[in-house]
Amino acid sequence: MLWASGVKLLSGGRKVVGLAVASLVALCLILASFFTTELGYTYVVQDTLFGSTRVFTEPGVHFKVPMFSNVYVYDQAMTLNFGNQDSGEKVRATRELPEVQVQFADTYTSRIPATFRFRLSSDPQKIIAMHREFRGFDNLIDSLLIKNAKNVTVVTGTQYTGEEFFQGGLNKFKVQLEDQLQNGLYETERRRVEVEQTDIAAVSSVNGDGDRLENRRQLVWKNIILKDKSGQARRLANPLESYGIQVRQVTIGRPVPEQRLDELLSQKKALVAKRITAIQAQETARAEAKTAQLEKEIERARAIQDAQRTKELAIIAKQREVAMEEQQARVEQVRKEKEKAVAVLEKQKELEVARSERDIQKANADAATYAAKAIREKGLAEADVTRARLQARQQAKDIYLAEIQRDIARVMYPALKDTTIDMPDYYVAGGAGSGAPLSSLDVFTTLGALKQLQKDEAP
């Protein structure tokens, strides 16, 4: 019984251990099935089970086949630092390398500190082509970027002489270096060209100064840039272009020349400074002599100017007197012309007034004549009207008398409206001794007069 119980316990423990191991393996497989990507890195995931390759450039969580997927990480931007910088600042670089040794066309050498910054392409096809070629980030830097940067720097240096480089050619060197690194090397041809160089003069029977410099023309071999028909530089294939790698920045530090070149440049600088000092002294002496001469010329010119000014003042005074006399004569002439013009204007005014008065009198006479004619015509017209009326009345005498009677009646009848007719106390027969019958007007007039007499007689 005890043995059976132990066997059961042992078998149960094995099951628990097996279950724990299986859970742990499952957890490991799940964790191995996913990976995370960060910003600033490019991830190439190579699946050996299915033979696929994927590229990720953005941050996130991605799936992969456990135990059959390899993840390769590339920095999207990298910096190669060749040598220390002038200010002694620390550059956070992907690689810290010694300065680039450059040999110029005139066999002088120099160490050039430089910093190159590159950036990978965002095109997945170019990233896959780059990974297929280099199979890792370190191999990419060591096999391509470092070698290409050093090669372009050295080749660019062969296009300059030592003196040309250190006497103002550094900026052009940097521009050409960055251009060739980004777009491909220039096609060059090695030619012998004549350059003017400053070198230490050889000690001889005619020259005992071992530090004297002399300018001389010398034939040197230089790489001359070839150009196409349009005048643009011809270029070789750029190894970075196939993988889409861009050159983002190129900086050049202070170059360090070799000892012979440094001594030559120092001596040339000292001699140039002496020459400049001598030239300045000569220019100063020449300027002082010229200044003294100019001062004398100024004094002479000042005396001439004073004499000339006195002469000009006398001439100006005479000219002023003549001008004043001419002005007075002109003023007198203008005054006379003005008086003459005023007299002419007054005469013209009187003539105009006389003409105006004549025209007024003529207009009045014409008006009187017209008025007399109008009055005469009016009188004649009125006489004609009166004559016509008399003729009309004579021709219609009865009608005219009837109209008169009508007018009398219009006056008398309203006046006799309230009049009472009594039997007359008096009787008047006939006209005043003529025996003719009386008219109604005579009768009523007589009656009215009698009635008024009665009123006057009454007490």
AA identity, residue 263 = E
Contacts of 243 (CB under 8 A, 6+ apart): 120, 121, 126, 127, 129, 130, 133
Cβ atoms of 140 and 170 within 8 Å: the answer is no
**Beta strands 256-257 and 109-112, pairing class:** antiparallel
Burial 340-374 (b: 16+ CB within 10 A, else e): eeeeeeeeeeeeeeeeeeeeeeeeeeeeeeeeeee
pTM exceeds 0.85, yes or no: no
Report CA-CA distances (Å) from 249 to 130, 243, 431. 21, 18, 161
Determine the distance from the C-alpha atom of residue 302 to the mean position of all C-alpha atoms in its chain, rounded to a whole number.
52
244 domain residue, yes or no: yes
173 domain residue, yes or no: yes
What 3-state class would DSSP assign to 252?
strand
Q: Which residue has the tokens 């530089």?
A: 233
229 domain residue, yes or no: yes
142 domain residue, yes or no: yes
* Residue closest to 31 by CA, chosen among 72, 67, 80: 67
Dist. CA 97–CA 93, nearest whole Å: 10
pLDDT tens over the chain, length 459 residues: 545 555 555 566 666 666 666 666 655 655 556 778 888 899 998 887 777 888 888 888 877 777 777 889 999 999 999 986 555 566 678 888 899 999 888 888 899 999 999 999 989 999 999 999 998 999 999 999 999 999 999 999 888 888 888 887 888 899 999 999 999 888 888 787 766 656 555 555 555 554 555 666 667 777 788 888 888 888 888 889 889 999 999 998 888 888 888 787 777 766 656 666 666 677 777 777 888 888 888 888 888 888 888 888 888 888 888 888 888 888 888 888 888 888 888 888 888 888 888 888 888 888 888 888 888 888 888 888 888 877 777 777 777 777 777 878 777 777 666 666 666 565 656 555 555 666 666 666 777 767 766 776 665
Report CA-CA distances (Å) from 355 to 131, 169, 341, 351. 123, 104, 21, 6
Determine the distance from the C-alpha atom of residue 442 to the mean position of all C-alpha atoms in its chain, rounded to a whole number.
121
Cβ atoms of 92 and 71 within 8 Å: the answer is no
5 domain residue, yes or no: no
Contacts of 408 (CB under 8 A, 6+ apart): 441
Question: Where in the sequence is the domain holding 221, given as residue range(s)?
Answer: 76-202+210-257
AA identity, residue 13 = G
Cβ atoms of 34 and 61 within 8 Å: the answer is yes
112 domain residue, yes or no: yes
Q: How many separate domains does the chain show?
A: 1
As beta bridge partners, residue 122 has none
pLDDT for 2 equals: 47
Cβ atoms of 104 and 110 within 8 Å: the answer is yes
pLDDT for 144 equals: 92
3-state secondary structure 134-176: HCCHHHHHHHHHHHHHHHHHHHHHCCCCHHHHHHHHHHHHHHH
Dist. CA 351–CA 373, nearest whole Å: 32
Report CA-CA distances (Å) from 295 to 46, 281, 286, 454, 456. 91, 21, 14, 153, 150
Q: Is 105 exposed, middle or buried (0-12, 13-18, 19+ CB in 10 A)?
A: buried
AA identity, residue 318 = K
Give me the CATH number covering residue 166. 3.30.479.30
126 domain residue, yes or no: yes
Cβ atoms of 164 and 203 within 8 Å: the answer is no
pLDDT digits (tens, 9 = 90+) for 255-276: 888 888 878 777 776 665 666 6
Element (H, E) at 451: helix 440-457
To the nearest 5 percent, what fractions of the chain are helix, strand and coil?
55, 20, 25
64 domain residue, yes or no: no
Residue 329 tokens read as 């004569």
pLDDT for 285 equals: 76
Contacts of 195 (CB under 8 A, 6+ apart): 106, 161, 164, 217, 218, 219, 220, 222
